[in-house]
Chains A and B, each alone.
Chain A
């Protein structure tokens, strides 16, 4: 997009390189720390365990989805806009499948989500369609199909059966009576994602595919499969989050997961994953999710006399911070010579 930098710009030692280098290393955790300090300064309530737990719970599902989407962004395929559709579909199908029992219903829900991801992966990875456009079409198809299948009715898990009760209990279940299940899922997904991205051959192949597609292909990497895999991973985490969200809402409906497409990409990019691909880490993405959680929490605590920040104002601040942070990030990366774009 940008013009090639003149040679002079290349050779000049970067001004403020050390500062921006530190920024790069700290990444989004600088923002998290800043928000934390701000929260402590603004209100006493902020550091109470209850409040922090609430802040965390509000973004648990977002975190689960973000870890999966990170693989798509890592492979330089921007975003999976069909995430809300996958979430709604897997949740609705899981509720429908409760008649087969509790565990089969979860498995079917995840499998349906993965199937959509597989179609996405095959079309985008193998046929090389533009990811934004294809997943947009997929989103439209999915939301239409769900509405069609249930004719606008919402479907509820049947409380009379054991499976239905177990499904409704799912979101509120605590492992060992302590750790909420969604948080446990987030931890597991994040750990798995971290391991897959950093310590496996697949992660390495995906990194090269994302950084330089053509080079990766000429190296002999099966780039198509790597990209397809990223979409399957993204759809799996979306399906898991969709099932949990359906359990939380106690209803399978088409609007479940609405807004998760843009919210997740915000978290992923805020966490230092660049749209140029092949950069960033799962740890950073979790930082992005934490930053969003703290930002919302701190803003909800702001009270100046009668003035309270409403949802709309919070969204505006969030949007502005998003642009600002990504701008600073990419500026810092250019200054330290890491990147042109």
Chain B
């Protein structure tokens, strides 16, 4: 076989012009995979589970989402900065327990203030240790996760701190607009049911973070810094400040989230952030944020969190136990990242290929009769390097 003959590949075997009929659809499906996943979960659960698509249950899903949303937003920001924050779960627990423990003496406003400040302090500590002491963020946040959790266990003596009054809890859980369920149109009723202050806080955090990441110079700098710290450093960004800021935001948001949840539930306990880390990591990754840094959206995280919460909620509507929920969320996470890896693998295989060259090759493969291939001495074009980088 002479070097001029390109090996028969799948792309070359197709008739020209209709090279990849579903390429656009596949690319769109990949790009909007979070929304697709969310839609599929809602469709399947809506069809299979009784009572899943009712206003009351939907507000349950949103309540579950808003529990982890602020911390997940913070986690997204840290991941975009190219770091990892394992302490978000502990920070949520801290926010919740401090608010409950301090509110009798300081009042709600004071307790919230202290809790949020402590979250900020935790984040700043993480950030300083990572940026200035240059310790790997995995190690720093693993350490602070353990320290904060145990400090809180000492503070609440391993138990639950109940609220002394339920006024705030009632306020947080009740819809802002109270409609008479008989007179109002159903659509409006659905909407108002979700608009509880508790959900609104999470929504506001999410919106603010989305605007910050997309529309401000600092947000764009964060993306640059996370994607390529050296380039960011060369272009004059204070890399350390961005890292510290990202961790500070993460600690602050997680504490806010934990405080609101505890106030809403009228109890703060060590269990509050127990499973949050797993859920948050899963949601953020499914939402399309990259572990490598520099890439990710808050909206994706939110949609993924809604999807995961809906999945678990729907499974419990179906009567499935905790174990099925664990398997299902693990499976969804595994499938999504496998799909991700497959897509990346394909793109890397085609990286460096020039479109015009590919088309030329395809045209030639189509016009050449298979028997005469290699003997006609066609001008040799360098192979598109399909085997170039199959991994790495």
Contacts and interface: CB of A to CB of B under 8 A. Distances in A.
Contacts of A129: 337-338, 341
Interface in B219-246: 229-230, 232-233, 239-240, 243
B153 A148 contact: no
Interface string B278-319: 100110010000010000000000000000000000000000
B322 A266 contact: no
A224 interface: yes
Contacts of B135: 323, 326-327, 330
Interface residues of B, number: 57
Interface stretch (A20-28, A45-53, A92-100, A311-319): A311-319
Interface in A111-159: 123, 126-130, 132-134, 136-141, 143-148, 151-152
A169 interface: no
A210 B130 CA distance: 22
Contact of A140 (B153, B232, B327): B327
Instruction: Name the residue in B154, B282, B325, B326 with the highest tally of chain A Cβ atoms < 10 Å from its Cβ.
Output: B326
Interface centre among B82, B83, B328, B330 (most CB of A within 10 A): B330
A128 B391 CA distance: 7
Interface stretch (B13-21, B61-69, B138-146, B368-376): B138-146
B324 A136 contact: no
A336 B139 CA distance: 21
A265 B138 CA distance: 10
Given A128-B341, A133-B291, A143 B326 contact: yes
A213 B327 CA distance: 33
Question: Chain B interface secondary structure, helix, strand, loop or mixed?
Answer: helix
Interface string B330-368: 110110011001100100000000000000000000000
Contact of A315 (B146, B232, B243): B146
A322 B143 contact: yes
A4 interface: yes
Contacts of A143: 323, 326
Contacts of A2: 134, 229, 239
Contact of A312 (B84, B154, B333): B154
Interface in A300-341: 310-313, 315-316, 318-320, 322-323, 326-327, 330-331, 334, 341
B282 A319 contact: no
Interface in B118-166: 129-130, 133-140, 142-147, 149-151, 153-154, 158
A3 B330 contact: no
A127 B348 CA distance: 12
Nearest to A217: B392
Contacts of A262: 142, 146
Contact of A144 (B147, B324, B338): B324
A226 to B, nearest CB: 13
Contacts of B243: 1
Nearest to B336: A137
A275 B337 contact: no
Interface in A245-289: 262, 265-266, 269, 274-276
B103 interface: no
Contacts of A141: 326-327, 330-331, 334
A313 B154 contact: yes
Nearest to B340: A129
Which of A78, A132, A139, A213 has the most chain B CB atoms closer than 10 A to its own CB? A132
Contacts of B196: none
Contact of B323 (A79, A148, A266, A316): A148
Interface in A150-209: 151-152
Contact of A138 (B133, B142, B334): B334
A118 B330 CA distance: 18
Nearest to B335: A137
B329 interface: yes
Given A3-B233, A331-B133, A312 B153 contact: yes
A43 B139 CA distance: 32
A334 B134 CA distance: 10
Nearest to B233: A3
Contacts of B239: 2-3
Contacts of A128: 341, 345, 391-392
A319 B327 contact: no
Interface string B236-266: 0001100100000000000000000000000
Q: Which of A2, A126, A275, A318 has the most CB of B within 10 A?
A: A2
Contacts of B338: 123, 127, 129
A148 B392 CA distance: 37
Given A4-B233, A132-B291, A133-B285, A140 B139 contact: no
A121 B236 CA distance: 40
B147 to A, nearest CB: 4
A140 B330 contact: yes
B330 A138 contact: yes
A341 B229 CA distance: 13
A137 B334 contact: yes
A316 B341 contact: no
A136 B323 contact: no
A318 B134 contact: no
Nearest to A4: B230
Contacts of B153: 312
A70 to B, nearest CB: 15
Nearest to B154: A312
A320 B278 contact: no
A144 B327 contact: yes
- For the complex of A and B, the 9 pairs showing the least CB-CB separation, nearest first, are A140-B330, A144-B326, A147-B323, A144-B327, A3-B233, A141-B330, A319-B146, A323-B143, A319-B147
5 contacts: A3-B230, A137-B337, A141-B326, A217-B392, A316-B146
Given A313-B150, A334-B134, 6 more contacts: A133-B337, A134-B334, A137-B282, A140-B278, A144-B330, A319-B146
